């Protein structure tokens, strides 16, 4: 009996130790850092603790903030990028405040700092995480070179409504692609070791922001827990596992609860389930916006709700600095909650080495801006991100055969708009536009006729058409001004704005080959424009080096390999339309369209499945679509088993051949469907992709391994697991191609 009791006690002690064992730090902290945090915390007054939780947008003279800095009332600033000023901010904190705690200096470095890369939607179109990671690293080197140590990026918001302007800032509609891009950007920003060039990532906007009703920014979302856990949360979990140091709450209320006061996502999921021990910052005044949301009565109330939900830092509501002391005094907020928030803030500052190295070397920092290697990487990324949507064979253009080139269109020479949204520190003087690149490559051959974003209905293009008649080829650059996408910039009409479509009609009528290149922040509805051009290249605002990149693609120096990370709609009325939809009980099966029939008078039935009588149920171009100058053929597709155990690995083999005349790179995509589940499942989900370069005529046998665990989902019973049953697998060059192979999970 005594022996049993001893054994039981021993087991209980082991279990207790396991439970109290601190979770491994997701941000990579260690005992030394944790010890320093506790030592510092023990010396801080409540006011100094609260000061760390206060973030201020800096502008104007440093002296405006000097007193608050000396009093320890500011823990972070954003929107200052002058390294001399940043050093002065830091000097006051480090040398003149009581505890010498350095500032965390933040900035929206969204797709490059000075050297601007394609907008994140374009980065996703590369399907090249390694290249995207390199670009984030370059952004980190340039930003930290000027004293910025925190970026509010990457944005992980799954976006399936192109009316929403912020689709430009994310990785599109797919969970798997978004997660891989998130991991790449977190690694790129923060670097291998958190050294002086480490830029703290901030995964945002947590969570579900891209599902704004009506595609209108800041609007409410109504996502169920299953949608959150199967679609919107996984990219954030992947980024937390990749070591993201910080996270930002989103503006939206989901199912009635604003994210900045949402305990379920900020505590239950983020802290308790994922063990995230990084810093949570609000979005700009998103704490204060809980008042108009009708979720709080005043700034004190929303500050209380935010800190008790798990927010650590307040961006520009001044709710914490104004009310937390009295909230602690009244007992509405425990000081232990303040301590926990301050621990997470100090942890990030210590991990970044800010206590040891608070200052930036101004001269060294200037030297790295726009380095040749940076511009080269930006060009290569723009080349990989452009998507060839149409080509009747006119492309690639033969340099020796073009003769006179007419260049026109609003994006031909638009150095600012080409950078796209959220390019705060991109300087248009450094942008190389398509016109500049063409003039350099074909001196004396380019005739440029400007065409602005004319809002007025231009009915005559005589000058441009006359020039087209004199040219051998017409290169027209169309699209969207940068200001029309990004935050708060939503559109209900996705056609080319102004009279661009009419311009195309006129150019086609001139009788010379017309090649259209579109630069935009979203997939526009360009179906009506396709008949009026021989080829169309689509670039989500390609950044500083977009000009040379697009010219290299048009003339075949580089073979297009970009694939769209979002569905291209035929009309905005099809919203929302994305590839990983559920099947419904009446899936579309080639029902006749209105255009194909003449309804008889009194006809009582037409169509019986889920589609639009006028536009059908298929998009213009599906997720993952993109042409090449060559062609690829998939064959010998086989699985190594017919059935897999839950802990097994699916081993897919197939042959891929380059069956055309150009060397090229195919983005191989593997999709899987769970045929029957405890809940209805998507008709396809991307589970793997890889860029495969092949010489013309080359054929390779490839193998892909996918753990069965990748098929897990949050089901009816509220558990995330793989459910046994039948599955189908496709391997193809886009989400609408290929034939499935079947397998079972036991």
Q: Which of residues 191-220 bind ligand GLC (CB under 6 A)?
A: 204
Please identify, using beta-carbon distances, which residue of 284 and 611 lies nearer to ligand GLC.
Answer: 284
Minimum CB separation of residue 160 from ligand GLC in Å reads 19
Whole-angstrom Cα distance, residue 717 to residue 229? 13
| H or E, element range at 669 | strand 664-674
Distance (Å, whole) CA 696 – CA 217: 46
- CB-based contact 665:561 (threshold 8 Å): yes
Q: 131: part of which helix (H) or strand (E)? A: helix 129-144
Q: Residues 161, 283, 413, 425: which is the catalytic one?
A: 283
> What's the min distance (Å) between Cβ of 620 and ligand GLC?
29
User: Least separation, in Å, of the C-beta of 222 and ligand GLC?
Assistant: 20
Q: 3-state SS string over 434-473? A: HHHHHHHHCCCCEEEECCCCCCCCCCCCHHHHHHHHHCCE
Closest separation between CB of residue 368 and ligand GLC, Å? 23
Give the x-and-dash track for 56-95 against ligand GLC (CB under 6 A): ----------------------------------------
- From the list 100, 103, 42, 41, the residue with the least C-alpha distance to 342 is 41
In order, the DSSP letters of 576-592 are S--TT-B--SS----PP
Cβ nearer to ligand GLC, comparing 110 with 342: 110
Q: Whose Cβ is closer to ligand GLC: residue 218's or residue 688's? A: 218
Total residues binding ligand GLC (CB under 6 A) = 6
Q: Which is nearer to ligand GLC, 152 or 743 (CB)?
A: 152
Binding to ligand GLC in span 470-489, by CB under 6 A: 487
CB 168 within 8 A of CB 421: yes
CB 417 within 8 A of CB 431: no
For ligand GLC, the closer CB: 152 or 714? 152
Phi-psi domain of 191 (left: phi exceeds 0; alpha: psi -120 through 50; beta: other) = left
The Cβ of residue 637 has, within 10 Å, a number of other Cβ atoms equal to 17
**Nearest residue to 50 via CA among 339, 434, 361, 391:** 339
DSSP result, 388-411: EEEESS-PSPPGGG--SEEEESTT
8 Å CB contact between 107 and 525: no
As given in the structure block, the two tokens for residue 405 are: 């080139």
What part of residues 275-294 is at the interface with ligand GLC (CB under 6 A)? Answer: 283-284
Q: Tell me whether residue 185 or residue 736 sits nearer to ligand GLC (CB atom).
A: 185
Q: Which is nearer to ligand GLC, 140 or 432 (CB)?
A: 140
- Min CB(422)–ligand GLC separation in Å: 8
Q: Which of 48, 108, 128, 413 binds ligand GLC (CB under 6 A)?
A: 108
* SS3 call for 232: helix
- Between residue 486 and residue 525, which ones bind ligand GLC under the rule CB under 6 A? 487
CB of 106 to ligand GLC, least distance (A): 8
DSSP 532: G
Using CA atoms, how far residue 677 sits from 11, 621, 669, in Å, is 39, 29, 23
Burial class (CB in 10 A: 0-12, 13-18, 19+), 367: exposed
In the complex, minimum distance from the CB of residue 210 to ligand GLC, in angstroms, rounded to a whole number: 12
The span from the CA of 74 to the CA of 51, in Å, is 5
Pure H helices in 54-118: 66-70, 83-91
Length of the chain: 746
- The residue with tokens 């969570």 is 207
Binding mask 137-156 for ligand GLC (x = CB under 6 A): ---------------x----
Considering the complex, what minimum distance in angstroms separates the CB of residue 152 from ligand GLC? Answer: 3
Which residues from 571-630 bind ligand GLC, rule CB under 6 A?
A: none
* Residue 301 among the catalytic residues: no
> What's the alpha-carbon Rg for the chain, to the nearest Å?
27
Q: How far is the CB of 283 from ligand GLC (least distance, A)?
A: 5
Q: Which helix (H) or strand (E) holds 216?
A: none
> Tokens 């003449």 belong to which residue?
598
Q: Which tokens is 289 given? A: 């916006």
Nearer to ligand GLC, 281 or 516 (CB): 281
Give whichever of 424 and 448 is closer to ligand GLC, judged by the CB atom.
424
Q: Which residue is nearest to ligand GLC (CB)?
A: 152
CB of 200 within 8 A of CB of 104?
A: yes
Min dist CB 472 to ligand GLC, Å, is: 46
Q: Which is nearer to ligand GLC, 65 or 152 (CB)?
A: 152
SS3 327: helix
Q: Catalytic positions, please?
A: 283
Residues found near ligand GLC in the complex (CB under 6 A): 108, 152, 204, 283-284, 487
């Amino acid at each position: 009996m005594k022996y049993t009791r001893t054994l039981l006690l021993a087991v209980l002690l082991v279990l207790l130790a396991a439970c109290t064992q601190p979770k491994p730090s997701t941000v990579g902290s260690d005992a030394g850092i944790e010890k320093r945090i506790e030592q510092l915390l023990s010396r801080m007054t409540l006011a100094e603790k609260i000061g760390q939780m206060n973030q201020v947008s800096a502008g104007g003279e440093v002296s405006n903030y000097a007193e608050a800095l000396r009093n320890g009332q500011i823990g972070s600033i954003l929107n200052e990028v002058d390294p001399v000023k940043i050093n002065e901010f830091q000097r006051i904190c480090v040398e003149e405040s009581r505890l010498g705690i350095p500032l965390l200096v933040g900035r929206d470095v969204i797709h490059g700092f000075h050297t601007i890369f394609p907008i994140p939607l374009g980065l996703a179109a590369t399907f090249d995480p390694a290249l995207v990671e390199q670009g984030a690293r370059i952004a980190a080197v340039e930003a930290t070179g000027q004293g910025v140590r925190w970026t509010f990026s990457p944005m992980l918001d799954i976006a399936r409504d192109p009316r929403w302007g912020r689709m430009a800032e994310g990785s599109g509609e797919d969970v798997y692609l978004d997660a891989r891009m998130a991991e790449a950007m977190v690694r790129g920003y923060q670097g291998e070791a958190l050294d002086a060039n480490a830029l703290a990532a901030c995964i945002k906007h947590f969570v579900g922001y891209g599902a704004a009703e009506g595609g209108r920014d800041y609007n409410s979302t109504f996502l169920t827990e299953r949608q959150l856990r199967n679609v919107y949360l996984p990219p954030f979990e992947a980024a937390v596992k990749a070591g993201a140091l910080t996270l930002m709450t989103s503006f939206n209320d989901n199912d009635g609860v604003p994210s900045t006061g949402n305990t379920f996502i900020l505590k239950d999921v983020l802290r308790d389930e994922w063990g995230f021990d990084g810093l949570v910052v609000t979005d700009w005044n998103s704490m204060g916006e809980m008042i108009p949301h009708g979720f709080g009565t005043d700034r004190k109330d929303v500050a209380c709700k935010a800190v008790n939900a798990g927010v650590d830092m307040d961006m520009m509501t001044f709710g914490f600095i104004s009310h937390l002391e009295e909230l602690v005094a009244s007992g509405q907020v425990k000081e232990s909650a303040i301590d926990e928030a301050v621990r997470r803030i100090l942890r990030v500052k210590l991990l970044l080495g800010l206590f040891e190295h608070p200052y930036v070397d101004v001269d060294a920092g200037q030297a790295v801006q726009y380095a040749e290697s940076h511009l080269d990487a930006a060009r290569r990324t723009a080349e990989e991100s452009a998507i060839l949507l149409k080509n009747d064979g006119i492309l690639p253009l033969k340099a020796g055969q073009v003769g006179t080139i007419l260049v026109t269109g609003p994006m031909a020479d638009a150095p600012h708009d080409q950078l796209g949204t959220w390019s705060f520190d991109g300087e248009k003087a450094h942008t190389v536009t398509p016109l500049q690149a063409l003039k350099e490559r074909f001196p004396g051959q380019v005739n440029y006729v400007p065409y602005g974003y004319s809002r007025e209905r231009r009915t005559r293009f005589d000058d441009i058409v006359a020039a087209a008649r004199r040219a051998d080829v017409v290169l027209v650059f169309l699209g969207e001004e940068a200001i029309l996408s990004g935050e708060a910039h939503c559109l209900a009409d996705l056609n080319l704005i102004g009279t661009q479509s009419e311009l195309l009609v006129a150019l086609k009528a001139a009788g010379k080959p017309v090649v259209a290149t579109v630069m935009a922040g979203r997939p526009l509805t360009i179906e009506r424009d396709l008949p009026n051009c021989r080829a169309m290249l689509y670039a989500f605002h390609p950044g500083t080096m977009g000009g040379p990149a697009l010219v290299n693609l048009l003339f075949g120096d580089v073979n297009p390999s970009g694939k769209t990370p979002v569905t291209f709609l035929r009309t905005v009325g099809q919203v929302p339309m994305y590839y990983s939809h559920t099947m419904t009980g009446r899936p579309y099966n080639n029902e006749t369209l209105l255009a194909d029939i003449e309804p008889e008078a009194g006809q009582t039935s037409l169509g019986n499945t889920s589609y639009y009588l006028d536009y059908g149920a298929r998009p213009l171009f599906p997720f993952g679509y993109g042409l090449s100058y060559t062609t690829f053929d998939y064959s010998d597709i086989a699985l190594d088993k017919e059935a897999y155990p839950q802990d097994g690995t699916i081993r897919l083999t197939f042959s891929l051949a380059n069956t055309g005349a150009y060397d090229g790179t195919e983005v191989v995509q593997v999709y899987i469907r769970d045929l029957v589940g405890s809940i209805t499942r998507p008709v396809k989900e991307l589970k793997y992709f890889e860029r495969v370069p092949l010489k013309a005529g080359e054929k390779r046998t490839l193998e892909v391994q996918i753990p069965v665990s990748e098929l897990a989902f949050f089901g009816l019973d509220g558990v995330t697991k793989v459910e046994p049953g039948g599955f189908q697998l496709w391997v193809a060059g886009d989400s609408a191609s290929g034939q499935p192979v079947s397998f079972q999970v036991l």
